[in-house]
Amino acid sequence: MNLLFVGDVVGKPGRAALLRLLPTLVDRHRADYVVVNIENAAGGFGITPEVLAEFEDQPVDCYTSGNHIWDKKEGLVLLDENPRLLRPANYPEGNPGGGLFVGETAAGIPVATINLEGQVFMKPLESPFRVADRLLAELDPEVKVILVDFHAEATSEKQALGIYLDGRVSGVVGTHTHVPTADERVLPSGTAYITDVGMTGPYQSIIGMRSDRVLKRFLLQSRVSFEVAKRDVRLAGVVIEVDEVTGRAERIERILIEDERT
């Protein structure tokens, strides 16, 4: 079976690219299950009910997120209302939502998605390694196909989690930095890995934001509001071929497609 994961959707340009390109991508790669990270979908920061509703008719089985999922207060209620919308599992108890969802393909194959956030250069959260151990121990043993979205800053931490989970999950895909890496591979015990999938959004930018705004903050070291850029919009993702009987990955392919209408 084929898992399709789409990297961080950034603002309106990213949403438009996803809506235009995803159906064709699903057909082209014969994707059986689709996961999309949407933590930057609403103006580059967070999610809202209106934005999530735009994806209602799209072939998406699960949504992941990261540290920006908390940025729009009107979106927080969605975490409890929609179990398919995940936030990182290693945030403290008492927060809305959860970081694990088990869905099914059209053929009835169960697929688990786990969302975790890194600690290095980020918040002092519970260890993503220990939380992954706990969630995997709680999973029904019949669930063999497991995808982890690791939303983290440091490449070393991402690689460490990939190696730590090798042979226990089907794939570990990195998100958050918005820059696609070229290190996709299947690890020795059968886990597909990539340090960062990249963003679905405007690449004529600084990680999705207007370059002039970001440069002003770096130069002046003062508060400057960011704004999503508009040009050179691309969809970034990976397709992972998995043996649904064993849960082992057999192949991973990196995807970066230009949205020609932008």
Residues designated catalytic: 68
What is the end-to-end Cα distance of the chain in Å, rounded? 32
Long-range contacts of 49-54 (CB under 8 A, 24+ apart): 49/74, 49/75, 49/77, 49/78, 51/15, 51/75, 52/78, 52/82, 52/85, 54/15, 54/19
In this structure, are strands 100-104 and 110-117 parallel, antiparallel, or unpaired? antiparallel
Cβ pair 11, 260 in contact under 8 A: no
Give how far the C-alpha of residue 98 lies from the chain's centroid of Cα atoms, to the nearest Å.
15
Length of the chain equals 262
Task: Give the whole-angstrom CA distance, residue 238 versus residue 252.
Answer: 7
**Which structure tokens are listed for 38?**
């949407």
Q: How far is CA 100 from CA 42, 56, 103, 132, 136, in A?
A: 22, 20, 10, 10, 10
Cβ pair 227, 183 in contact under 8 A: no
Task: Give the whole-angstrom CA distance, residue 187 versus residue 252.
Answer: 11
In this structure, are strands 185-186 and 249-258 parallel, antiparallel, or unpaired? unpaired
